[in-house]
Structure 1
């Protein structure tokens, strides 16, 4: 009986589709659109072909001047109003422009209900961007009947997640000397849907001095890379510059992360199969492979006397601001070391001076930048010098030695020699100290003994001063009172924040507000796909935190059940479910009948209603 009813239902649905589509056959159109009309070389964009009918065969246009990096991706939607059924199908390709210029992508040819139709042509302007390796450009779409295709994966089937999602640590050198700089990039490779992620463990750099390269952009930049014959979406998560501090075989520990991946799940239910099947979310932990770095000791042969561990390629220059001064007046001697290497690990060079010239510790000023090519720039050492007696002096050249790992040789550089003529100082003048913040700020005293103060000494009788006054006792009691108040506040704070679930639930509204703020930005910029994506993430993230449901278990049935347990009204739950369905459908196919602003306002209202009721 069950199978009989199901067969009747499917036949009735098919009849409705056939009648509705036949009635709309005269209004069938094929529309070609692109996500951007102006793109840079190497910049991915999408071209879509939409048909308000069932596609029987599809012939894509010639895509000369572009590389096809994804697709065709197929989506479809059906709606039935008063017995009139409307079907809409679309196919899209991800393209990358190769050369600058203005291009016209010709029409695609589509057969619908036995009738051949053509889409409109699309103009694309390609401006200068990044270089693209050529060789795969042109028409790479399927001819004839189009079918949706995912990214090519490595050996095995789509359930083998390890071949579709992994981390790589890439070092530009693995055989180096102590103190020699090298860089490591941690990259994420994926061609599977990712729902959520969390960082498990950052790599340890035991035996290395590390410097992370800061990314000015707050968002991860995705690129398409062909690795071992397979195309992946690749994101660089971290870039580090490292300097080994000891020799031997040192290991860079892996970076560990946990992902929630979404995969299609087989189903025997004909209804689910008809409407696109089902899916399941799975937690998956991955780690990058550890890297072994062979660190060689610096050679003893040719090591100069006074070598302090500088490794790289450097140059030096020295400046003395005056060549003639009076005794006890200050001189500034500045040594500048420029180049690439372990600049931040350099020790202050020893300056050899005559006994009558006093020297203070140098002030260090850095002008250093970090890129994947290494650390480069300059470091300045400014010495304050004070000659104490008159005479003619010579500041001898300063010697600086470093090891060049490219030539595998030690180099010794020498600064210039500076003569200094010191005249007799003013009678009674002396230099006693200088401010560390500004080495030019030298304090002068006229005498070795301070002057005797005259006039009213400001003495007071016993009991008339601050000690023993009312203010004294008030301030004396303030300490214990503040201590007790702080102790009480700490106890209240611990009691109020010991439940991590409640804290997460209290902060759920703030997290959702961030996603909705991003969605409003996308709405203002006109990016509908990104808008619905942010609204979808905002609602699901809010519900996960508010209801304490993990990402892997977050589905509509669990959400409805938890909201009912919290006595949330059924109309609110129905509005939430409807909005989630609308956002999910809008991520894969265009929708009509409701504006994006209405969806945004509806999402905000639902969150506020849940906060008031739950």
Structure 2
């Protein structure tokens, strides 16, 4: 398999046994070389599957400083395609003042094994800037029966007399996952039918039949097209693992990732699967040992997004919100700036709060500056957004700074309202030049 040099991203799971972490070093070579760095991979979440069982196949081509123009899948004759999704993410960024472009083409397939045998999938082929790159071939062993042997309740943790479900079968009572008797990834979303702009809490869980003693490697972040996303584990540690029984089999459950995702548009949006590589050592006992570790991928999860109700402004903030306004001076000279600060505090996507200041008669208003102090105490994103305007009076007298208004929709109550601030009056006195009186009269001085 052709691979480009890449940093390994390790998930900070709370392991049952502490492990030393080595910091990744700098990438060798020139990060901005003209030759694209290409990776083509083809990976399944299992190596063995029974007849009639399903499994996921991920075929991906990624190019740094290049464009993936075509990704050719291998022949899939021994299998039938249950579902298929295609994504082609592209990113453009500036690194050290230079433009860097990355592109990818990713196929996520759910396949069903139709007949027994040992099947070798030929390499996937990707075309990047006119050159063809290949993955390694992949071997899938299909057993002749979907029945799995019974296991006792000894070290395996399987209830006595129970039958292990076929790999790839839906886990009863566990949505957002495909069952695997050793390890699988589950994705949950709450709520299931949010409004545009409402927080969707997305959680990614790693289910492992045995405790994890080495940090998994994050191979692929879940895609979140159509959402604004904030990491809820940015300033807190993940919770400790829990024990859970799925279809009679005990699993250690690790929460690998938790994000607040805010839909930007109505309709069906998809949270893509997370892909992890589990270290070889802790799983050698039941993965057979050997190889570079075990790859597990989640499944795509659809979020059904509702538009805001009729009568609610389309630019309404969704969540809870309060506004407070203040100024740094209540009395100034003409030409001296007054800073108007509005603190918007509450829960929700506060970066979406962009209030406008109405016309201010007798003053110039500069473009506002904004800064955020976001807080992720647990399941809900919140904090404070501060908006600051500089207002420069152009004539003496009473200067009225109008109230600031933000429409708000609370999905918990289904009601809308308007958050407002009070208007503020500033006393403006003439500047020194304006206050000069012919005949030498001293200028009037303003206090404050």
Instruction: Tell me the TM-score range normalised by the shorter chain.
Output: 0.5 to 0.7
1:189 matched to 2:207: yes
The answer for the alignment partner of 1:165 in structure 2 is 183
SS, match of residue 263 in structure 1? helix
The answer for the alignment partner of 2:296 in structure 1 is 286
Per-residue CA deviation, residues 4-54 of structure 1 (Å, 9 max, x unaligned), is xxxxxxxxxxxxxxxxxxxxxxxxxxxxxxxxxxxxxxx999xxxxxxxxx
The answer for the alignment partner of 2:309 in structure 1 is 299
Long gaps (5+) in structure 2: 1-14, 18-152, 168-178, 436-448
Cα distance change, pair 224–422 in 1 and its aligned pair in 2 (3 A):
same
TM-score, normalization by structure 1 = 0.40
Flag the structure with higher helix content.
1
Q: Once the 2 structures are TM-superposed, how far is the Cα of residue 419 of structure 1 from its aligned partner?
A: 2.0
Partner Cα distance (1:319, 1:426) in 2: 27
Cα distance change, pair 395–198 in 1 and its aligned pair in 2 (3 A):
closer
Cα distance change, pair 262–383 in 1 and its aligned pair in 2 (3 A):
same
SS, match of residue 180 in structure 2? helix
Q: Of residues 351, 373, 382 in structure 2, which corresponds to 1:367?
A: 373
The answer for the alignment partner of 2:350 in structure 1 is 343
1:237 matched to 2:259: no
The answer for the alignment partner of 1:177 in structure 2 is 195
Partner Cα distance (1:295, 1:360) in 2: 37
* 8 Å CA contact 1:194, 1:262 repeated in 2: no
Q: Once the 2 structures are TM-superposed, how far is the Cα of residue 186 of structure 1 from its aligned partner?
A: 0.9
Structure 1 residues 528-567: aligned runs within 5 Å: none
Cα distance change, pair 397–428 in 1 and its aligned pair in 2 (3 A):
closer
Q: Of residues 253, 259, 263 in structure 1, which corresponds to 2:285?
A: 263
Partner Cα distance (2:346, 2:243) in 1: 35
SS, match of residue 311 in structure 1? strand
Cα distance change, pair 157–280 in 1 and its aligned pair in 2 (3 A):
farther
Partner Cα distance (1:353, 1:225) in 2: 60
The answer for the alignment partner of 2:320 in structure 1 is 313
Partner Cα distance (2:364, 2:320) in 1: 32
Long gaps (5+) in structure 1: 1-42, 46-146, 266-278, 430-614
The answer for the alignment partner of 1:332 in structure 2 is 339
Structure 1 residues 88-99: aligned runs within 5 Å: none
**Higher RCO (C-alpha under 8 Å, 6+ residues apart):** 2
Cα distance change, pair 198–383 in 1 and its aligned pair in 2 (3 A):
closer
* 8 Å CA contact 1:263, 1:281 repeated in 2: no
How many corresponding residue pairs? 269
The answer for the alignment partner of 1:410 in structure 2 is 416
SS, match of residue 329 in structure 2? coil
SS, match of residue 315 in structure 2? coil
Partner Cα distance (1:229, 1:158) in 2: 9
Partner Cα distance (1:215, 1:322) in 2: 37
Per-residue CA deviation, residues 195-227 of structure 1 (Å, 9 max, x unaligned), is 975433221101111111235688994332344
CA RMSD of aligned residues (A): 3.3
Structure 1 residues 501-540: aligned runs within 5 Å: none
* 8 Å CA contact 2:210, 2:251 repeated in 1: no
Cα distance change, pair 379–334 in 1 and its aligned pair in 2 (3 A):
same
Q: Once the 2 structures are TM-superposed, how far is the Cα of residue 417 of structure 1 from its aligned partner?
A: 1.7
Partner Cα distance (1:264, 1:176) in 2: 41
1:212 matched to 2:217: no
* 8 Å CA contact 1:182, 1:374 repeated in 2: no
Partner Cα distance (1:218, 1:394) in 2: 47
Name the larger-Rg structure. Answer: 1
Partner Cα distance (1:352, 1:210) in 2: 31
Per-residue CA deviation, residues 219-270 of structure 1 (Å, 9 max, x unaligned), is 99433234454321121111111000111111111112344432369xxxxx
* 8 Å CA contact 2:245, 2:251 repeated in 1: yes
* 8 Å CA contact 1:153, 1:164 repeated in 2: no
Partner Cα distance (1:343, 1:262) in 2: 46
Partner Cα distance (1:287, 1:264) in 2: 18
The answer for the alignment partner of 2:390 in structure 1 is 384
Partner Cα distance (1:148, 1:400) in 2: 61
Partner Cα distance (1:317, 1:281) in 2: 62
* 8 Å CA contact 2:211, 2:252 repeated in 1: no
Q: Of residues 347, 358, 361 in structure 2, which corresponds to 1:352?
A: 358
Q: Once the 2 structures are TM-superposed, how far is the Cα of residue 346 of structure 1 from its aligned partner?
A: 2.0
* 8 Å CA contact 1:193, 1:262 repeated in 2: no
SS, match of residue 150 in structure 1? coil
Partner Cα distance (1:358, 1:264) in 2: 72
Q: Once the 2 structures are TM-superposed, how far is the Cα of residue 395 of structure 1 from its aligned partner?
A: 2.0
The answer for the alignment partner of 2:429 in structure 1 is 423
The answer for the alignment partner of 2:110 in structure 1 is none
Cα distance change, pair 384–193 in 1 and its aligned pair in 2 (3 A):
closer
Partner Cα distance (1:192, 1:341) in 2: 37
Partner Cα distance (2:336, 2:328) in 1: 12
The answer for the alignment partner of 2:241 in structure 1 is 222
Partner Cα distance (1:421, 1:188) in 2: 62
